[in-house]
């Protein structure tokens, strides 16, 4: 059979062409990852003797991050709001990491009382904390450690938020679910910069990172058509895409030009682990990293130092931190 007649067979329908395109896309994403992404396996950082706190550790990215930190010898405090879900995750992480240095801490980050009693318990138990991963949503033992890192898990969605201080007290322009998320991530970016500035010279660094788009339990908050689309895409593109593939796949979902990628929890944990482990980040503070572990500028609103100061003052007042030693 000649090549021409082979190409003319009905097997070359649109379905086959699509499949080949998908396979090519997946292959190029894999090559891109190999060439450009930070390689977790090549990082030799040992965390023996270090104390790490990961919020939202019972699911998704937080769970994957906790597992890797535990595997490297850290005592990891899984800060979870549900004892049942937390214990289940602890058993799974213990089995996977072969670590017996895991501890469950109960905290509901939507309640100031719960945050305070968790912080009190933490400070009683541990004099020093070397790593805090604010993965779920939102800490002083850090300074005593001499050198410590705070990692704020952000999102590329921060670019779509806006800052209205009234939102801190539940007032201001009403927000849809997505706007709530976008605005909270923008506030986190502003907070990251401000906290980094305040902690200058203390040995504690603060940075934020976008894990990329990851198929985790977080997707349950989206409507079912989005949910289905994410599920479908993650099936094909689990290895993630940081280049042109992301735009192709997600522009329809997010109409965003920011670097995003669709991946599984372990892939989403890599940028977060980069900020936790990479030696070259010693002393780097107040920066935002995209899902390819590259420093990028946070949105303009988050870089406004007057806005950041005002948000800081209001937060301190609302949380009564000004009355705490
Ligand atoms: N997945 C993505 O595509 C994506 C993209 C950009 C950024 N991110 C960011 O990555 C981080 C982790 O998300 P994920 O995808 O891993 O989501 P996930 O699987 O839904 O995990 C979220 C975790 O946060 C916990 N959590 C939520 N509210 C809490 C509260 N009030 N108090 C204590 N814990 C609370 C959840 O606990 P329960 O199990 O009890 O609910 C869960 O353990 C988030 O900051 C998210 O914004 C994710």
> Where along the chain do its domains lie?
40-212+267-323
Q: Is residue 298 within 8 Å of residue 209, measured between CB atoms?
A: no
Cα–Cα distances in Å, from 134 out to 139, 223, 249, 275?
10, 26, 28, 12
How far is the centre of ligand 1, averaged over its atoms, from the C-alpha of 218 (Å)?
A: 6
Atom of ligand 1 nearest to the CA of 62: 16
Closest CA to ligand 1's atom 43: 56
Closest CA to ligand 1's atom 42: 56
Closest CA to ligand 1's atom 5: 213
Atom of ligand 1 nearest to the CA of 111: 31
Count CA atoms within 13 Å of residue 267 on its CB side. Answer: 24
Q: Is residue 292 within 8 Å of residue 245, measured between CB atoms?
A: no
Question: How many other CB atoms are found less than 10 A from the CB of residue 8?
Answer: 11
How far is the centre of ligand 1, averaged over its atoms, from the C-alpha of 84 (Å)?
A: 16
- pLDDT given for residue 140 in this prediction: 42
- pLDDT given for residue 119 in this prediction: 94
Question: Locate tokens 């892939």: which residue?
Answer: 267
Q: List the one residue out of 117, 147, 149 whose CA is nearest residue 133.
A: 149
Q: Are strands 288-289 and 295-296 parallel, antiparallel or unpaired?
A: antiparallel
d(CA 312, CA 309): 5
Cα–Cα distances in Å, from 325 out to 291, 311, 320, 321, 322?
37, 20, 11, 8, 8
Atom of ligand 1 nearest to the CA of 55: 34
d(CA 247, CA 151): 26
d(CA 317, CA 325): 14
Ligand 1 pocket: which of 58, 60, 234, 265 to mutate (most atoms <8 Å of CB)? 60
How far is the centre of ligand 1, averaged over its atoms, from the C-alpha of 17 (Å)?
A: 37
Q: List the one residue out of 217, 218, 211, 268 whose CA is nearest residue 239.
A: 268
Q: Is 98 left (phi over 0), alpha (psi -120 to 50) or beta?
A: left
Instruction: Tell which CATH architecture fits domain 40-212+267-323.
Output: 3-Layer(aba) Sandwich (3.40)
Read off the tokens for 324: 């705490």
Ligand 1 pocket: which of 57, 58, 59 to mutate (most atoms <8 Å of CB)? 59
- pLDDT given for residue 223 in this prediction: 73
Residues with CB under 6 A from ligand 1: 55-56, 58-62, 81-82, 85, 107-110, 135-137, 153, 155, 210-211, 213-214, 216-218
How far is the centre of ligand 1, averaged over its atoms, from the C-alpha of 28 (Å)?
A: 29
In degrees and rounded to multiples of 5, residue 290 shows phi and psi of: -85, 180
Q: Which helix (H) or strand (E) covers residue 77, if one does?
A: strand 75-80
Listed as ranges, residues in the chain with pLDDT below 50 are 138-140, 238-262
CA angle 247-182-154, nearest 5°?
A: 75
Q: List the one residue out of 62, 323, 302, 303 whose CA is nearest residue 187.
A: 302
d(CA 289, CA 155): 10
Atom of ligand 1 nearest to the CA of 82: 40
DSSP codes, 167-221:
GGGT-SS---HHHHHHHHHHHHHHHHHHHHHHTTTTTEEEEEE---EE-SGGGGG
């Amino acid at each position: 059979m000649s090549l021409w007649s082979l190409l003319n067979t009905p097997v070359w329908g649109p379905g086959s062409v699509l499949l080949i395109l998908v396979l090519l896309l997946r292959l190029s994403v894999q090559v891109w990852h190999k060439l450009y992404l930070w390689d977790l396996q090549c990082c030799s950082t040992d965390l023996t003797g270090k104390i790490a706190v990961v919020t939202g550790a019972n699911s998704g990215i937080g769970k994957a991050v906790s597992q890797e930190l535990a595997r490297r010898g850290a005592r990891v405090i899984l800060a979870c709001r549900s004892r049942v879900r937390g214990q289940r995750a602890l058993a799974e992480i213990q089995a996977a990491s072969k670590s017996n240095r895991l501890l469950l801490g109960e905290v509901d980050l939507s309640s100031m009382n719960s945050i305070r009693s968790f912080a009190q318990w933490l400070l009683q138990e541990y004099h020093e904390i070397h790593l805090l991963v604010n993965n779920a949503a939102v800490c002083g033992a850090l300074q005593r450690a001499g050198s410590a890192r705070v990692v704020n898990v952000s999102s590329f969605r921060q670019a779509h938020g806006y800052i209205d201080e009234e939102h801190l007290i539940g007032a201001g322009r009403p927000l849809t679910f997505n706007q709530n998320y976008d605005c909270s991530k923008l506030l986190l970016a502003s907070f990251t910069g401000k906290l980094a500035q305040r902690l200058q010279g203390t040995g504690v660094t603060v940075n934020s990172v976008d894990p990329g788009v990851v198929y985790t339990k977080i997707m349950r908050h989206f409507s079912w058509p989005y949910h289905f689309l994410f599920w479908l895409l993650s099936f094909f593109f689990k290895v993630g895409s940081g280049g042109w593939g992301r735009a192709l796949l997600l522009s329809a979902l997010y109409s965003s030009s920011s670097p995003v990628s669709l991946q599984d929890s372990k892939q989403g944990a890599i940028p977060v682990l980069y900020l936790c482990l990479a030696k070259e980040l010693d002393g780097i503070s107040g920066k935002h990293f995209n899902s390819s572990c590259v420093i990028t500028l946070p949105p303009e609103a988050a870089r406004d130092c007057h806005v950041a100061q005002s948000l800081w003052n209001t937060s301190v007042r609302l949380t009564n931190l000004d009355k705490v030693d």
